Chain A
């Protein structure tokens, strides 16, 4: 079985700053593997250990993203692929899905694509569904457990807010996983040394046969303003706590909150 994991490098989210124009400023911020993608890598490795075959870690980004790819290789991924081109700099989610879809088609023998439910920077959660659409494959989102995986078929639990759905689909398919599906392993120190010298194959837009039109964002940012400030609160006056509580309850009832 050939499993491809789509992995994104993101800034560690607890330390990013916001620029004056409200864009994210990640300068000097440590770059890490997207949390949810780490679960996807682990899930791929566990199934690969059972079924054999290949696990290819695929990422779209500049050369310096290789550190996270090497991290996934040190965890146990067998293959890697970096999709890198100056033309990929300003991709929107759909454009990124186009790039990944072209690469997966070019790989040819892929049975399953795994990814995190969303990235912790953009948080669209739309990449994998768009990828499935472009490939014409079934999508299984929010998967909290892969029950079985065999040639041609996957059974998985989708962990939704109120229910757990067990679904079956034929392969190939695109699956996004949620936190808690497994406990990601640490990279193996022995593998860290081995993968440090591994040449990571890199494909450009030309390698993928993508034109400028394919990469033009479907969405244009027109304006960006902060949300309106929250209205000010109201202090309730009164001679003692009992009176204040009574006034508060009256107001809440008036507003039909209670």
Chain B
């Protein structure tokens, strides 16, 4: 059955053609190789030299996926924020590393330039990124600061028309691949969150270096690494937003990054469900297909519940983005629910596959490893729980921002 049917209240025929296109791309150009690519990440030592990553990014760029929800005048495909969710679902249905590209390149970096960037910054950085000619990443986390971003140690010291950046960022997706980075650093180390500013940093700037992280549990097909900044001179023109506005910018970026993570997790649930349905119908025990056993049916039914609820939460957030409404509460709820559900669904998928599910002969063990990271990154499960409680209790509200994410405008974006 088609689990993406009957979402007409959110999706149009455009989204259906888009879904089919992305699915074909992922199934044809990634699925046949993904087991080997995933294994390559387990065995990897030294610098990132794996040959599959750049060509796949190039293909995603050629297809227009990397600028999917940006106006055509900025080099994008002119589709809406729901299209971004459809792309993420279909990519992560095949492997999470593809969706991670959408999260960091499009969600965390490009949409942040779209929201906060000056015309000049958009011309110089956003347009090549939307076209896929340049790849972008996002550097917030440090070895000693994750959820507690205000504790970061990276600094940006003003020197005439430049800032001098020093520090180390880690767990950066595409650290060894990307051309442009949004880097958060303290312009005023005496202040916490209010002392943070945001900078556009290019890999080619002297003092910039990166190295991959080895031995990851999941997302092994993709590149993750650390970024080291040693006296990197960044022009003042590359400061995104005002001095001290960095924390706010980082949080709005996460409203978009988390949205892509939630949509991707929905795709991962669907992949787990589809694999489970296939296997449950062909594997026989006690003289019948295991699909006939009630406890297997229960696992299938719970996957369906998690799939549909996740998708509905994601599309609600996407619909709000299209309207130009702030969606922090709705997006974090979708992210929390979908990622936790995706891990549970992959776990049940392994259970349905029995011992076969425990080896990489079947894809479900990869789904489980890939799902686990999203319960930590872009806001831990625990942070999402606190946010939901605080919104419900009235301890937290969305304050107006100096710049909001532009609403979708079908005419202006075309």
Contact = CB atoms under 8 A, between A and B. Distances in A.
Do A and B actually bind?
A: yes
Interface of A: 28-30, 32, 66-67, 70-71, 74, 186-190, 192-194, 196
A74 B17 contact: yes
A190 B77 contact: yes
Interface string B256-288: 000000000000000000000000000000000
Ranked nearest first, the 10 interchain pairs of A and B with the lowest CB-CB distance are: A189-B64, A189-B77, A196-B14, A186-B21, A192-B17, A28-B1, A187-B21, A192-B14, A30-B2, A71-B17
Given A28-B2, A30-B2, A190 B17 contact: no
A190 B64 contact: yes
Given A28-B2, A186-B25, A196 B13 contact: yes
Contact of A186 (B2, B12, B24): B24
Contacts of B65: 189
Chief secondary structure at chain A's binding surface: helix
Contacts of B72: 190
Contacts of B121: none
By CB atoms of chain A within 10 A, which of B12, B72, B79 has the most? B79
Contacts of A193: 14, 77-79, 410, 414
B219 interface: no
A29 to B, nearest CB: 8
Contacts of B17: 67, 70-71, 74, 187, 192, 196
A69 to B, nearest CB: 11
A70 B17 CA distance: 8
A188 B12 CA distance: 16
B102 interface: no
Contacts of B18: 189, 192
A30 B2 CA distance: 7
B310 to A, nearest CB: 21
Contacts of A187: 17, 20-21
A67 B13 contact: yes
A192 B5 CA distance: 19
Contacts of A71: 17, 20
A82 to B, nearest CB: 14
A66 B16 CA distance: 12
A196 B14 CA distance: 6
A188 to B, nearest CB: 7
A70 B21 CA distance: 12
